[in-house]
């Protein structure tokens, strides 16, 4: 923390603070100073990594526009969707690696990730798997039985796998940020509920719809008993990709039937306010969530739709918004392939997700996944072998990869409850703007060109002139 007092004034101000119960101090890194500096502050990341989410010392002053330069005009009077948060999937594998760190080192890293003050990056949203994802060390559900057995009343349901690593890490995170939102997504139902009796592929048998609905209820209540609130669930991770392990094929008509016949009524009967989010797959199939939302019996239980972008275009989210503007949109997963290319990966994810997804109505942007080891492990047999974590964890050694900085540029300042506001897009300057609950304005700009670019930022008749190096991203913050 920077302290601008000399010794004399420091003592005087400290005594005054004790008397008044409020010691004022400036912390430029926090972006939430008690004494606000006039002008615009900038956090910068460059493709050559010479700046990695670095706060720039120069505060940009509002003045007259520089003629002949492109201008980004920010208009807070035109508002769009509210933001729930930015973050990662906390896989079982991530939790395992975090648990293998020393307690002191883990605590410091979790504070860096989930606190928003000082140099911390303020991750505000997490996705976890309901049962195993393909980035767990083994495949499991909460109701694994011997072949040929079934458990209609879920009497053998158990969160034991999660209690070993995931739940303890979530409790440490909640101690840092009690308001963080958590989304749960299953990769597969228990094998005994499926047509092929296998963790990989197959479909959910209709005779087990009610049992599977209770599986979700038991999961949410079980996590609640651990002090962990599940804000939302998706019904199936990548329902059109049954080739992963674990996985499930679930067509839109099947998902609609499951919602209206079993899941929605089960949540209502259990008095759960956990959101039900549909689809959770690629943007090439906007017809999938639209098909479900066109079914009014199913729609009444649905909060919104979730997307990945391994196929399709990010603009497809707007098609779903236009078809059903009363329902929310979420971006819930995008990987970075190991070993990674920082300049290309960082630029694409900022431009397409942080900017693109939010400009197409997404309330969240989540990267896949939080952590892996130097060999991209752990993963299940048949799981992703080249998924680069936002962090590479090698014991207590931490390497911060491009997804870490992608999320930092938004999460630290665009806090939950912020709203997207209007801004125009000059050529080669993709951007998105937000207004926070504290009335700060946040503008994330990428210079999507091969040369340095100067430009103006206009707001309420005032202007600053600034510039970004080639390929760089800046987060601009002002009151």
The residues assigned a catalytic role are 238, 333
Q: DSSP letters of 23-61?
A: -----GGGT--SSPPSSBEEEEE-TTSSSSSEEPSPPBP
Sequential DSSP letters for 369-434: -SEE-TT-----TTS-SSB--SEEEETTEEEE-HHHHHHHHHHTTS-TT-EEEEE---TT--EEEE
Residue 238, SS3? coil
What are the structure tokens assigned to 340, written together? 């990674």
Distance of alpha carbon 107 from its chain centroid, rounded? 21
Rounded CA gap, 351 and 46, in Å? 14
Alpha carbon distance 400, 332 (integer Å): 21
Distance from the first to the final alpha carbon of the chain: 21
Alpha carbon distance 293, 295 (integer Å) = 5
**Which contiguous run of DSSP H or E holds residue 211?**
helix 209-225
Residues with Cβ within 8 Å of 394's Cβ and at least 6 positions away in sequence, in order, are 373, 374
């Amino acid at each position: 923390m920077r302290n601008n007092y000399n010794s004399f004034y420091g003592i005087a101000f400290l005594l005054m603070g004790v008397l008044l119960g409020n010691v004022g101090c400036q912390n430029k890194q926090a972006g939430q100073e008690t004494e606000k500096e006039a002008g615009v502050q900038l956090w910068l990341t460059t493709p050559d990594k010479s700046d990695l989410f670095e706060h720039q010392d120069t505060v940009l002053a509002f003045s007259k526009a520089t003629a002949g330069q492109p201008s980004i005009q920010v208009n807070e009077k035109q508002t769009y969707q509210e933001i729930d948060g930015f973050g990662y999937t906390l896989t079982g594998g991530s939790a395992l690696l975090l648990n293998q760190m020393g307690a002191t080192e883990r605590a410091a890293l979790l504070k860096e990730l989930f606190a928003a003050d000082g140099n911390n990056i303020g991750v505000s949203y997490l996705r976890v798997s309901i049962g195993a994802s393909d980035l767990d060390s083994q495949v499991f559900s909460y109701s694994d039985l011997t072949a040929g057995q079934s458990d209609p009343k879920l009497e053998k349901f158990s969160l034991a796998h999660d209690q070993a690593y995931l739940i303890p890490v979530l409790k440490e995170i909640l101690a840092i940020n009690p308001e963080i939102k958590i989304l749960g997504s299953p990769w597969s139902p228990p094998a005994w509920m499926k047509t092929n009796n296998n963790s990989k592929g197959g479909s959910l048998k209709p005779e087990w719809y009610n049992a599977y609905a209770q599986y979700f209820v038991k999961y949410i209540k079980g996590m609640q008993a651990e002090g962990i609130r599940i804000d939302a669930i998706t019904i199936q991770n990548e329902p059109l990709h049954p080739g992963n392990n674990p996985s499930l094929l679930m067509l839109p008509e099947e998902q609609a039937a499951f919602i209206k016949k079993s899941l929605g009524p089960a949540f209502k009967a259990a008095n759960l306010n956990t959101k039900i989010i549909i689809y959770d797959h690629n943007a090439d199939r906007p017809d999938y969530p639209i098909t479900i939302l066109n079914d009014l019996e199913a729609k009444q239980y649905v909060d919104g739709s979730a997307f990945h972008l391994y196929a399709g275009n990010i603009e497809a989210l707007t098609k779903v918004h236009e078809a059903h503007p009363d329902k929310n949109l979420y971006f819930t997963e995008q990987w970075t392939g190991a070993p990674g290319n920082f300049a290309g990966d960082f630029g694409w994810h900022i431009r397409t997700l942080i900017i693109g997804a939010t400009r197409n109505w997404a309330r969240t942007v989540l990267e896949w996944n939080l952590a892996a080891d130097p060999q991209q492990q752990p993963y299940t047999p048949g799981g992703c072998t080249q998924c680069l974590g936002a962090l590479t964890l090698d014991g207590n050694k931490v390497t911060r990869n491009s997804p870490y900085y992608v999320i930092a540029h938004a999460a630290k300042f665009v806090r939950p409850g912020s709203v997207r506001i209007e801004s125009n897009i000059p050529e080669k300057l993709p951007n998105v703007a937000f207004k926070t609950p504290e009335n700060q304005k946040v503008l994330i700009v990428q210079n999507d060109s091969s040369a340095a670019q100067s430009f103006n930022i206009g707001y309420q008749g005032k202007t600053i002139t600034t510039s970004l190096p080639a390929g760089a991203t800046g987060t601009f913050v002002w009151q």
